[in-house]
Amino acid sequence: MRFLLNFRNVIFLFSILLFSCTHNTPNANEMPEVCFDSEILPIFQTGCAISGCHDNISAEKGLVYSDYNSIMESITAGDANNSKAFKAMTSLLQEPMPPDNPLSIEARTLIRIWIEQGAKNTNCLNDTLITSK
């Protein structure tokens, strides 16, 4: 009975902490625009589009992450939390992707910002942002 009482206290305290926290997350659109070509594509190419995973040959689970169009099949522009690729990278309920070497918090944050900014196909040349259509 004592364990149950202590367990209930822990759950109660956890609930208070969980629901009393407010986080002021910055608006992604107020940040400098993330460049797909030079910042996001290299993360996908070196962390996801590798042999045995999501390259053009392996296409694990039918997913390829080697170029903008194929990446966008798993991205919901403007909504990282509903983007299949981002959820796989950040899930606590399954093995994070990529399984042998999960992406760094910096890489995941950059991808989140890019998605929240609209997941645009941008190319940056000499610090000039060019949006492809």
- 3-class DSSP state of 129: strand
- Contact call for residues 73 and 63 (beta carbons, < 8 A): yes
Tell me, what's the pLDDT at 3?
42
DSSP one-letter code for 71: H
- 3-class DSSP state of 24: coil
pLDDT at 71 over 80: yes
Least confident among 1-10, 43-52, 65-74, 122-131: 1-10
Provide the residue type at 100 as one letter: D
What average pLDDT does this structure show over 54-83? 84
Residues above pLDDT 70, as percent of the chain? 68
**pTM greater than 0.75:** no
Question: pLDDT tens for residues 28-60?
Answer: 878 889 999 999 999 988 877 677 777 666 667
Tell me, what's the pLDDT at 72?
94
Q: How confident is the model at residue 4 (pLDDT cuts 50, 70, 90)?
A: very low
Q: Where are the beta strands (DSSP E) in 1-133?
A: 122-125, 128-131
pLDDT at 131 over 80: no
| 70's tokens | 């194929």
CA dihedral 24, 30, 32, 34 (to 10 degrees): 80
